[in-house]
Amino acid sequence: MFGGIPVDVRPGGRAAAWVLRVLVAAGLAAMALSWARASDTVQVSEQVDWASVSLAGVTAVTLGLVASVLIARQAVAVRLARVTAAVATPELPAGGPVALAVAAPVNAPAANGVTSAEGELVAAARMARYHTPTCPLTIGKPVRPASRTDHERAGRQPCGVCAP
């Protein structure tokens, strides 16, 4: 979806945001001024002169808003890339995945403080998904262990990150 947006740069910034705000404000001011001046006269030739000022104002507002949307879209792409990278590459111990399996026995408490038997999954009361006890999405949350059937009976679905 965001494939064409470069994510190696920092999008926008405060200076760009202020420039775009000033551009939009100037465009709105030009539109208001041209409307006020054109409404004071009955001659069409004078009204047409102010129409070009109004058209410049509409152009400035359009450019400012389109640029704001593009900068916001790029910021979303950068955040999405960072979150995807953080979720896709969890930090592993020095020995790799094998060391992780050895380092975390089944009955050891997970980072969320839950000690569960083999095959038990965890979820909090208001969670829509159930997780493994070591899922990073449960850290710091008051989760409780239960069986898969209990979770499914409660209407929960499996987590897409830890894939229980």
Question: What's the whole-number mean pLDDT along residues 79-107?
Answer: 57
Domain assignment of residue 37, given as a range: 14-88
Q: Are the CB atoms for 37 and 50 separated by under 8 Å? A: yes
Confidence of residue 16 (pLDDT cuts 50, 70, 90): confident
What does DSSP assign to residue 136? G
Q: Are residues 49 and 113 in the same domain?
A: no
Q: How far apart are CA 121 and CA 130, in angstroms?
A: 6
Q: What is the tally of structural domains in the chain?
A: 2
**pLDDT tens, position by position, 98-152:** 434 444 444 445 555 555 555 688 988 888 888 888 888 888 888 888 888 888 8
Domain boundary among 88, 114, 131: 88
Domain boundary among 88, 116, 134: 88
Most confident of 37-41, 61-65, 84-88, 99-103: 61-65
Residue 1: inside a domain: no
Q: Are residues 83 and 34 in the same domain?
A: yes
pTM summary value: 0.47
Q: Are residues 118 and 62 in the same domain?
A: no
What does DSSP assign to residue 131? B
**pLDDT tens, position by position, 143-162:** 888 888 888 888 989 888 88
Q: Name the residue with tokens 């999954």.
A: 121
